[in-house]
Chain A
Amino acid sequence: MSVTQHQRGRAIGIRLLLGWLFVWFGAGLPGQQNPAPASQSDAMEGETVVYCLGCHGTQPTGNAEVVARIRAAPVDAARFSASAHGDKSCIFCHYGFSQFPHTEKVLQRKKPQCSSCHRGAKYEHWGFPEIKEEFDASIHKTAQGDAFTCFSCHDPHTFQPSRDTRSIPLTVEYSNSLCIECHRDQQQMQLRFGVTKPALETIHAFLPNRELHWRTVRCLDCHTAPNQRMVSHKILPKAQAVRNCVECHSQESRLLTQLYIHRVKEERQTAGFLNSVVLNDAYVVGMTRNRYLDAASIALAAITFAGIFLHALGRFVAGRRGKRS
């Protein structure tokens, strides 16, 4: 039987309402006999997202224990739909969770890993084996061990891959948001990883125009070992991070092999600018140069010095002749 748009919306609305009431009255705790809001076993896959987010996508209030459990797995509906996995239903990864209340057996089940899906020829171009190698050598993994997983940075409900089609400022903003989510928040760092770090502003006090740097380059561009992809997962120890300005501020800028790598592949010349791939996004001292202006300046300098030399020579010769006569 085909379901009309109106009927479908109503059904979802009722489920959301029931879900909210369920949370409010503390139903669904193990051992409690409160009825589930509806039978989910036959829920359409596309609807599970809406259904699950009825509890997990809200800021639930009510019974403290239920709220705590729901908050342990919060999902922002808008961010999820914009994420790389936004087209998947919840049960695509969280199979078994369509049963409500969730059974203890399902709750105890091991969480899915990235590699549960991201393997095989289909995902070869992402280079997951290389990513794993880099990750294993990163300071995150070596310092934190197994406590640090892919999910520590990449929440699968919000994750967006680095795309060469996205504007550089947006790429920078998103990429840096992953880092500062933990590194900006001292409490979070202490709570999650048991470490205390100085404030980001303090560590980066040496950086001129700090805010501008943070807005225009990724943390990764200085804190990872470059590879031939846009992103390296080998986060370096603090002491190995880039501090030498000319690594970026030069014609051979490392940004060209990292942040701008996709643009470099389709190198274009705009009005004689070197490294013109960055021209639409940023002006970088020492990196963005105009070859015509450079050539003109060298020519003008040559003419000036040659002119002065010849003029002085002429005066010298004239002076000698004058003396003789």
Chain B
Amino acid sequence: MSMPVAHYPLWLRLWHWTNALFFLALIVSGLALHYASPTNTILPFQTARIVHNFTGLALAIAYLVFLLGNRFTPNGKHYIPARRELTEGLWRQLLYYLVGIFRGDPHPHDPRDPQKFNPIQKLTYLGIMYVATPVVIVTGLLLLFPELAPRQIWNMPGVLPAALLHSALGFLLSMFLVGHVYLASTGETIAANYEAMLTGYRSAEFHPVSHRRPHAEVDANGSNAATSTPDEPEGESFGNPASNPTAAKADASPKVGADS
């Protein structure tokens, strides 16, 4: 019986979940500030302001931890997309989410691959973590310290562009969070990705193939036949009905962990 492979290092998991917590607090308090009204009961304005300022600063500090972690550990390399990933990889992943997942196609990307992220993940995380988040942090700091912003820009208050960018990007990041949480359920099993991010370990086996489609058809669609298994496990997940870790473990060969 093979051991699960280490997938997410501890620092990354700690950062991920604290970041998630801060993010949720920022979304709720941000909505309360944006839609502030005497009748609004999301959160009192005074409380929302304190929560938003505090967690915003905490998220900025956590972001520095993320940057340092990526600088001094191998985790950073997962955010650099290869040219092929940006073309066919991206398309293949998108097709899987739009079509293949309903047909029970094999997942086109093995998360235990040295490339931990699939092309869509990689590109999205790159944009989120290296473009949107720093811009949201900088504009947030300008709103927190408005005296740092120019008094006037084009006959408008200097903080206005920062405020618009902050709320627009804050909203896009919120939508990313929703999509992120949902797409995490498209792993081998519904819970596989959540568990991996909690425990740091991922099952050593990968069962990307559907029991609904003949193997030959999968090959014809360009899926990686080497990672496919012809077994028909009694999957209990929806979307990826192929999974049956118990049955698969019997013939599993040692796999390489994506990252540790």
Contacts and interface: CB of A to CB of B under 8 A. Distances in A.
Contacts of A308: 178-179, 182
Interface in A283-325: 283, 285-286, 288-290, 293, 297, 300-301, 304-305, 308, 311-312, 314-316, 318-323, 325
A286 B45 contact: yes
Nearest to B185: A312
Contacts, number: 110
Interface string B164-191: 1001100110010011001001100000
A280 B175 contact: no
Contact residues on B (Cβ < 8 Å of other chain), bracket: 35 or more
B36 A245 contact: yes
Nearest to A279: B156
Contact of B36 (A246, A300, A318): A246
A212 B164 contact: no
B238 A316 contact: yes
B211 interface: yes
Contacts of B37: 246, 250-252, 286
Given A208-B49, A283-B157, A319 B239 contact: yes
B212 A322 contact: yes
A281 B159 CA distance: 11
Contact of A288 (B160, B175, B241): B160
B103 interface: yes
B104 to A, nearest CB: 6
A304 B180 CA distance: 11
Given A304-B179, A308-B179, A322-B211, A249 B238 contact: no
B33 A315 contact: no
Interface of B: 33-38, 40, 45-46, 49, 97, 101-104, 143, 146-147, 155-157, 159-160, 163-164, 167-168, 171-172, 175, 178-179, 182, 185-186, 210-212, 235, 237-239, 241
Interface of A: 208-209, 211-212, 244-247, 249-252, 279-283, 285-286, 288-290, 293, 297, 300-301, 304-305, 308, 311-312, 314-316, 318-323, 325
Given A249-B36, A286-B45, A320-B238, 11 more contacts: A246-B37, A246-B40, A247-B38, A279-B157, A283-B159, A285-B163, A286-B33, A314-B101, A318-B102, A318-B241, A322-B212
